[in-house]
Structure 1
Amino acid sequence: MRITVLTSAVVLAFAFAVPAASAVAESGPSPTPGQDALQRDLGLSEPQARVRQAHEAGASVVERQLRSRLGDRFGGAWFGVAEGRLKVGVLNDQDAQLVRAAGGAPVQVARSEKQLAEAKATLDGSFKAAGKGVHTWHVDVATNTIVVTAADRESGERFVKAAGLDAATARVTIGQAPQPLYDIRGGDQYVINGNTLCSIGFSVNNGGFVTAGHCGGTGSPTLGYNNVSQGTFAGSSFPGNDYAWVRTNGNWTPRPWVNNYSGGNVNVAGSQEAVVGASICRSGRTTGWRCGVIQAKNVTVSYSGQLVHGLTQTTACAEPGDSGGAWISGNQAQGVTSGGSGNCSSGGTTFYQPVNEILGAYGLTLTTSGGGGTSRLIGWQNKCIDVPNSNGVDGQRLQLWDCNGTNAQNWTFPGDGTIRAFGLCMDVAWGSTANGAAIQLATCSGNPAQQFVLTGAGDLVNPQSNKCVDVTGWGGTGTPLQQWDCSGGANQKWRRG
């Protein structure tokens, strides 16, 4: 079996990089930032960031309820930092009472959100009058106005007047013109040194993406799928290893996606390593989405005498240009394409560089969706949320128990805000909003008592009550769970694992 790798001009051995020709289609559609970033960018202390995240977790639920109840009288909603709760625009005193009863803070406004939306639609219809001096326009619910951003006040006011709006409804602010931003997505094409094509592996939160080392050396510039300036190789290792990190510029946004080449994306939820024999799929700019099984790990490959160690061997095919592309099993990132033999017509053997080694080498963290799949919920004393005796029945109170890998501790996250086990939903007993209410299993009904948000700070919050899942009395194995005011204590911290 001959193993080959093609780069732009020289046959090195086989890593599926090809000379640049034409770009591929633009990426399609949507991690929450870490708490350290919240503290840095919003000027918050650690307790302030934690409390704010807990409060914000419930704001969207309250907004949805009040939007439905107020209908055309709804005056918009926004999170009030000083109040620590949702502020809601109202047109009369009766609606203000309704907002207070729902836990919001009412604010008297002159225009409903519907009226503001109609005013914005008027501007949309007058877009030809905007000219290059007008950059954006939007509804600002906090000021109950339309905000027009322009290069200068004269341009903005001229646009507002042409649309027939008054200064009380639409106000002008001065700002810079926005620039296009592009998504970083696994499997998409990128160009190295203007003449070599490879594929993106996985987005990383540190800015950029991981890919194959043979695609480019440290310092090599890159262009995106659209030939727009993208970034520079911040690090690269080949041979010995076959990995690299491309640090991208501000026009490119890391996304937790891999292109499935069927018009959609596969979400990346983590990087748990799959076992030998597991099914696996890869994405690349030349042959798209291809699947196979894992045959062996820790494989040493000779690319025309250049050794690369620690690769994983698979039955999935690949061809030149697929180098560096993403390998994923379910929703778990596995690695980036290194090289192989054969092709996607007759079949082949392909090798990938495991992604966790790349992340560790450069101190990177994977950009993930944080949702989907099944996992344990681990918390106080490294114990798990557990269904007692695996007795999955309606009304079964949940407890803390030693993590043991049984179905009693396997929780499914279907993406609708619920957390499920044994076909039932995690639930706050009787929909209570009081401290001490039991956390239990119940028949899934879609009510707010069964909605939970695991925040970046590790709080598991029920938005209806704005309270956290709590280990009663800081107890150990067998301690029942309750909801309680979010305090930031270790008995309220949870992680998926």
Structure 2
Amino acid sequence: MYDHARKTTLSLQWLALPVMTALLAGCLTVDQDTEPSDEDSALEGHLSPSGFSSPSSASLTETDWEVEGFARERGISYSEAQQRLGWQALAPQLDEQLRADLGDRLGGVWVDVARGDRIIVGVVREAGTDAAAVVRDAARKLGLTEGYDIVPVRRSLAEIERVNDWLGDEIEKVNDGVAATLTAGLRPDLNAVELQVPAEGRLTDAQRDLVATAKARLSDMIVASSYAGRPTARACVYPYCDSPLRGGIRITNSGTGCTGAFVAKSKVDGVLYQFTAGHCAYENYDDWSTRFTDASSHVVGPVHHWEWHKGGDMAILRIKNVAGWDPEPWVYVTSGPDTTTNTAYKITSDHVSVLGMRICTTGAYYGRSDCGYVTQLGVTATYGGVTVRKLGRGSFCGMGGDSGSPMYASHVAYGLQVAGYSECDSLYQGIRAAESALNVNVLHAAP
């Protein structure tokens, strides 16, 4: 369960690196067809029979601050914001269903801002005429009767995922022990994998060779770009709550500060735990504590299981005094530009995330809750000397100490914040993968 012999020191400050941008000359792009073929025209279309129903409608009505914040960001009415967030809430379920129903014919599912936050379903051109019917049927079963489009793509999601896996393996090798690191992640909206070099920093010969090899081997299956900052774990040296225990609170251990996330329940015996980031738990295995609002210290519990390697970055603390803590499936949402204080924000379900969707987070050190948009999935990134695979990336903000922060939207749990390239370019561990690795489920409240 633990690897006590492993020694890794987390870098907790943003560090500047020497400039290196030459490799970006001649960036790769995915070919875009300017004129659709007859087959493409038949496949692509706005599928809006009439009316919209979503199981999330009631929760969106309750969560006024999410709708209001989104409406301000987009410059749209409250009712339109509510409708768009309703579409978004169903996108992960549609993605999951179509992976099963279409298999290698699926090109991906994402949310497109340019199309008014509609759900976009990519379908491989050679998929056959029944593919659109499969998409419509899956959407209808979820209660999604409008707000999505079907577009033709050149290659399947499975194909670009295989490319992303290969590239992740290679990046893990060349990033070992270096300061400036390559990173990569899925971009289903581009039907490609995005390979990024640091805007600041000097790459090694091995890293340069990998970039050249990837360009030659993958051609238009990758797009190249740069990223600012340096991937840095967000553990470090803010809010507290009295019981019940909930997510979004500050937790500490021997000077290390992180954020406690969702309450979890064992799949085996029903024992209750609290999620946080795996790198927080490393070498901090004994009791983690928090405080009540009167500043008195209270033990949450010790690390029960942690993972921090290419398979993920997640951990759970065993809650010692369950009766005293009376844990609840809540998150302490703090006031921010698009949030209002809610000390008992209910989590009613959990799911995977999709590109382009809006997710919020509450870090115990950033000082306010913040919402952003998913910009990459399947990300390979190196921080604290460890390369982690299949992370999410988004424009939500955080800082040191926010590792473990709950990622949520419309009462759905999506992940755990773990690191960041810069203040508002952040990485998160998907909650479904964390549940699987740690053999627990997020504790849910009644809708």
| TM-score calculated relative to the size of structure 2 | 0.43
Higher relative contact order, structure no. (Cα contacts within 8 Å, ≥ 6 residues apart): 2
Structure whose residues are more often helix by fraction? 2
| TM-score calculated relative to the size of structure 1 | 0.39
